[in-house]
């Protein structure tokens, strides 16, 4: 079936065991699942029997782009990796900037599904003229992500793993330039296939179906993003590190393995401190006017500075408020190919185990000499590093400490303590890939953004989380950067005086918007209202309404849920760590996140039964076949 504009019309199914390269037909999936995470999840579901081990040779590792990838639409040059997570056993997906996505499209390819296991290290090369080929990567094996990219042919877009992926560290990531597909351990599945890299190059172009309208929208969006307080000022000036002080002030900054939510030393690792003392340049993904990345110099070399997640989870969460340490560890994690969030999470957990006398190690919340060495040990699975490479959940099964093992479904929590943003707690508990903040980012509306819908209230949070999760799933299927959603709040909101009456009125209205939210979730807006659907409409030449877009997100979210249920997950897994459920970090507040007050409502609004299983009517309405 011919695909509409936005797709190159060619995808590959590559079997590394046999060396066979086949053409993969994705045409039957794009109407319902569009691309990126949606198509990736569908392919994962359809190409694996229930219960397949993530390291089974037959496990697919899917690299997928969206209809806008390769165009000049801002924030759209990203790819998604999908597989089954070796860390959680649930659906794994992660999105990534860098140069690979655009080059893959230019090579004329939408999706690459890799199966099998090569006998010796290989990499996959894809070009518009030569098609796909499997090449020897013996000389690259053992090298860091930085050197690997330098050694691979110039001019190609690359997605590579470091030693951590080769050694199946369960939270190994995939790296493209300085960007990473960080979460859920996709790099370990890549390593298990003896696949060191996938690279692409080509000259093909995507010409939007409605070229003029596309160009006009692109220009106005760049202007809008540049003039919006979030995407034009806060992110470019301070990077995601802008969140550190806010998180500390609002008591949601993880400190010492989530023992506290704040620390007076936080400003030392804030975006302001980073900008004032270390920022050398702003860096961004292809065609993105926001340039949220931080360019710093480390030992005389230009490199990438840390994101908020790394500053919090490898900073305050380890009791460390020294920026140069975090720069070093951030670089090491990226080069070794490990997700900084899970790495910081497992180090925080191991430190608390050590301080409680449950583990013998040199880790301490007060001194950090042991950390850099341990990062190498984790990546190479040496000594204690071999245990740490298994992640917090498995560590707690071996050493105890279940109550303070900070993970959801096996995925270590990022840098927002949900005891100061209850909706975010619900999001962590229900997000299909586990404890993750970018598949909804409810904390932005509760605690970090320009308006704060009472973070310590459960009111309206179920509907809010669903709205956010659906939108995020649509964004990751189309494939945009999640940060684009921050520009959805009108500029005027940023002008509200946080101490003023208007601010109070707006947040009160939003807090009581539950019934309206439920209606909004059911309604199917017939117009293209946001730039996401407008870009899709102009590129593909067929109308995509806001209703289509949010329904796409709902469909993808439900398919992920169905996959997880098939793999053995139940409503018992929709929970939070005991510390987060039971211990408050707020003066005068008893207990942690009141999840039980939100979850039943969440299931109901989602159209799931009381066991969290999507009802047949829900699946039928969304057109999901199982």
CB of residue 224 vs other proteins: minimum separation in angstroms?
16
180 scored as a contact of ligand SF4 (CB under 6 A): no
In the bound state with ligand SF4, the residue whose beta carbon lies nearer, of 213 and 222, is: 222
Q: Give the interface size with ligand SF4 as a residue count (CB under 6 A).
A: 11
Among 61, 481, 562, 595, which residue interacts with ligand SF4 (rule: CB under 6 A)? 481
* Closest alpha carbon to 473 in 51, 63, 36, 26: 36
How far apart, in whole angstroms, are the C-alpha atoms of residue 104 and residue 84? 23
Asked whether the beta carbons of 167 and 194 are under 8 A apart, the reply is no
CB of 450 to other proteins, least distance (A): 4
Matching residue, tokens 């939408």: 110
Rule CB under 6 A: which of 351-370 touch ligand SF4?
A: none
For the record, the structure tokens of 458 come out as: 């459960």
* Residue 288 in the binding site for ligand SF4 (CB under 6 A): yes
Residue 228 CA to residue 74 CA, distance in Å, equals 14
Q: How far apart are CA 535 and CA 476, in angstroms?
A: 14
4 is a contact residue toward ligand SF4 (CB under 6 A): no
Tokens of 72: 């000049």
Candidates 136-144, 188-196, 290-298, 555-563: pick the segment binding ligand SF4 (CB under 6 A). Answer: 290-298
According to the binding rule CB under 6 A, does residue 290 interact with ligand SF4?
yes
Q: Which two tokens stand for residue 258?
A: 């989530």
**How many of the other CB atoms lie within 10 Å of CB of 256?**
18
Decide: 480 and 519 in contact? Cβ < 8 Å: no
Closest approach of ligand SF4 to the CB of residue 77, in Å: 8
Q: Which is nearer to ligand SF4, 145 or 346 (CB)?
A: 145
Q: Which of 285, 363, 510, 624 binds ligand SF4 (CB under 6 A)?
A: 285
Task: Identify which of residues 313 and 482 has a Cβ nearer to ligand SF4 in the complex.
Answer: 482
| Binding test (CB under 6 A) with ligand SF4, winner from 61, 104, 175, 292 | 292
Establish whether the linkage from the previous residue to 479 is cis, with ω within 30° of 0: yes
Residues in contact with 219: Cβ distance below 8 Å, sequence separation at least 6, in sequence order: none
Q: Which of 11, 48, 64, 75 binds ligand SF4 (CB under 6 A)?
A: 75
Q: How far apart are the first and last CA of the chain?
A: 22
439 binds, among ligand SF4, other proteins, none (CB under 5 to 8 A by kind): none
- The least CB distance from residue 190 to other proteins, in Å, is 27
293 binds ligand SF4 (CB under 6 A): yes
Least Å distance, CB 335 to ligand SF4, is 19
Which residues lie near other proteins (CB under 8 A)? 229-230, 234-235, 239-243, 245-252, 261-262, 264-268, 270, 272-273, 276, 292, 307-308, 420, 441, 444, 448-450, 452, 454, 456, 483, 486, 494, 498-499, 503-504, 507, 585-587
Backbone angles phi, psi at 376, to 5 degrees: -65, -40
Q: Which of 295, 310, 323 is nearest to 375 (CA)?
A: 310
Which residue, 284 or 449, is less far from ligand SF4 as judged by CB? 284
Q: What, of other proteins, ligand SF4, none, does residue 507 touch, CB below 5 to 8 Å by kind?
A: other proteins
* Structure tokens that stand for 64 in this block: 């997928």
Pick between residue 54 and residue 450 the one whose CB is nearest to other proteins: 450
Query: Nearer to ligand SF4 by C-beta: 259 or 478?
Result: 478
If DSSP states are collapsed to H, E and C, what string results for 540-580?
HCCCCCHHHHHHHHHHHHHHHHHHHHHCCCCHHHCCCCHHH
Structure tokens at 289: 């006017």
Residue 336 touches which member of other proteins, ligand SF4, none, C-beta under 5-8 Å by kind: none
Residue 499 binds: one of ligand SF4, other proteins, none (C-beta under 5 to 8 A by kind): other proteins
Angle at 551 between CA 10 and CA 450, to 5 degrees: 110
Structure token digits, residue 599: 């979850």
Q: Which is nearer to other proteins, 193 or 459 (CB)?
A: 459
Whole-angstrom Cα distance, residue 130 to residue 108? 11
97 binding ligand SF4? (CB under 6 A): yes
Q: Which two tokens stand for residue 540?
A: 């593909």
- Of 112, 123, 120, 45, give the one whose Cα is nearest residue 84: 45
Instruction: Output the smallest distance, CB 191 to ligand SF4, in A.
Output: 25
Q: Out of ligand SF4, other proteins, none, which partner does residue 96 contact, by CB within 5 to 8 A per kind?
A: none
Q: Which does 230 bind (CB under 5 to 8 A by kind): other proteins, ligand SF4, none?
A: other proteins
- Is the separation of the CB atoms in 95 and 181 below 8 Å? yes
Residue 481 interacting entry, from other proteins, ligand SF4, none, C-beta within 5 to 8 Å by type: ligand SF4
CB of 378 to ligand SF4, least distance (A): 25
Tell me how long the chain is: 626
The tokens of 37 are what? 């995470």
Distance from C-alpha of 347 to C-alpha of 362, rounded to nearest angstrom: 11
Interface residue with ligand SF4, options 258, 329, 483, 608 (CB under 6 A): 483
Binds 310, which of other proteins, ligand SF4, none (CB < 5 to 8 A, cut-off by type)? Answer: none
For position 279 contacting ligand SF4 by CB under 6 A, the verdict is no
Residue closer to ligand SF4 (CB basis): 222 or 298: 222
Identify which of 439, 470, 465, 466 has the alpha carbon closest to the alpha carbon of residue 453.
465
Q: Which of other proteins, ligand SF4, none does 213 bind, CB closer than 5 to 8 A by kind?
A: none
Say how far apart CA 230 and CA 476 lie, in whole Å. 20
Work out the number of other CB atoms within 10 angstroms of the CB of residue 616: 11
Are the beta carbons of 197 and 356 closer than 8 angstroms?
Answer: no
Binding residues for ligand SF4 (CB under 6 A): 75, 97, 284-285, 288, 290-293, 481, 483
């Amino acid at each position: 079936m011919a695909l509409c504009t936005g797709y190159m019309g060619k995808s590959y199914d590559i079997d590394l065991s046999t060396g066979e390269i086949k053409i993969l037909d994705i045409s039957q999936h794009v109407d319902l699942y569009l691309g990126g995470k949606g198509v990736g999840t569908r392919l994962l579901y359809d190409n694996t029997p229930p219960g397949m081990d993530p390291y089974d040779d037959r496990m697919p590792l899917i690299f997928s782009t969206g209809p806008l990838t390769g165009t000049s639409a801002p924030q759209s040059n990203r790819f998604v990796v999908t597989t089954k997570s070796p860390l959680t056993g649930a659906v794994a997906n992660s999105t990534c900037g860098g140069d690979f996505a655009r080059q893959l499209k230019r090579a004329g390819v939408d999706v690459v599904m890799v199966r099998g296991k090569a006998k010796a290290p290989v990499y996959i090369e894809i070009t518009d003229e030569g098609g796909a080929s499997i090449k020897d990567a013996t000389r690259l094996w053992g090298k860091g992500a930085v050197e690997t990219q330098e050694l691979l042919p110039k001019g190609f877009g690359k997605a590579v793993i470091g030693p951590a992926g080769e050694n199946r560290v369960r939270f190994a990531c995939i790296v493209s330039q300085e960007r990473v597909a960080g979460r859920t351990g996709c790099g370990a599945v890549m390593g298990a296939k003896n696949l060191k890299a996938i690279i692409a190059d080509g000259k093909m172009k995507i010409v939007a179906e409605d070229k003029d309208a596309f160009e006009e929208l692109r220009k106005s969006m760049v202007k809008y993003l540049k003039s919006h307080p979030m995407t034009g000022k806060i992110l470019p000036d301070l990077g995601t590190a802008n969140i550190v002080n806010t998180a500390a002030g609002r008591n949601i900054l993880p400190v010492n393995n989530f023992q506290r939510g704040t620390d007076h030393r936080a400003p030392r690792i804030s975006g302001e401190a980073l900008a004032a003392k270390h920022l050398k340049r702003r860096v961004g993904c292809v065609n993105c006017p926001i340039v949220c990345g931080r360019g710093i110099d480390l030992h005389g070399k230009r490199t990438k500075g840390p994101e908020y997640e790394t500053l919090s989870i490898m900073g305050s969460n380890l009791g460390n408020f020294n920026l140069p340490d975090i720069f070093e560890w951030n670089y090491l994690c990226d080069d070794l190919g490990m997700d900084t969030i899970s790495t910081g999470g497992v180090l925080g957990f191991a430190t608390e185990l050590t301080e409680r006398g449950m583990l013998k190690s040199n880790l301490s919340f007060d001194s950090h000499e042991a950390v850099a060495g341990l990062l190498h040990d984790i990546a190479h699975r040496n000594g204690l590093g071999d245990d740490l490479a298994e992640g917090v959940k498995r560590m707690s099964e071996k050493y105890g400490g279940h109550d303070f093992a900070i993970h959801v479904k096996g995925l270590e929590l990022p840098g927002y303590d949900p005891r100061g943003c209850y909706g975010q707690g619900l999001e962590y508990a229900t997000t299909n890939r586990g404890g993750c903040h970018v598949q909804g980012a409810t904390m932005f509306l509760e605690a970090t953004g320009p308006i704060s819908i009472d973070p310590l209230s459960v009111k309206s949070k179920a509907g809010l989380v669903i709205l956010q999760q659906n939108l995020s799933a649509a964004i990751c299927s189309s494939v945009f950067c999640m940060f684009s959603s921050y520009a959805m709040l009108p500029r005027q909101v940023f002008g509200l005086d946080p101490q003023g009456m208007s601010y109070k009125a707006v947040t009160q209205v939003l807090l009581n918007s539950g019934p309206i939210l439920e209606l909004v979730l059911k309604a199917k807006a017939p117009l293209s209202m946001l730039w996401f659907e407008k870009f899709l409409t102009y590129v593909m030449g067929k109308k995509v309404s806001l209703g289509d877009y949010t329904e796409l997100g709902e469909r993808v979210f439900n398919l992920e849920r169905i996959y997880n249920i098939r793999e053995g997950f139940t409503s018992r897994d929709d929970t939070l760590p005991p510390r987060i459920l039971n211990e408050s970090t707020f003066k005068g507040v008893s207990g942690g996140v009141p999840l039980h007050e939100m979850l039943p409502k969440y299931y109901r609004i989602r159209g799931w039964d009381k066991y969290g299983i999507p009802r047949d009517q829900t699946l039928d309405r969304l057109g999901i076949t199982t």
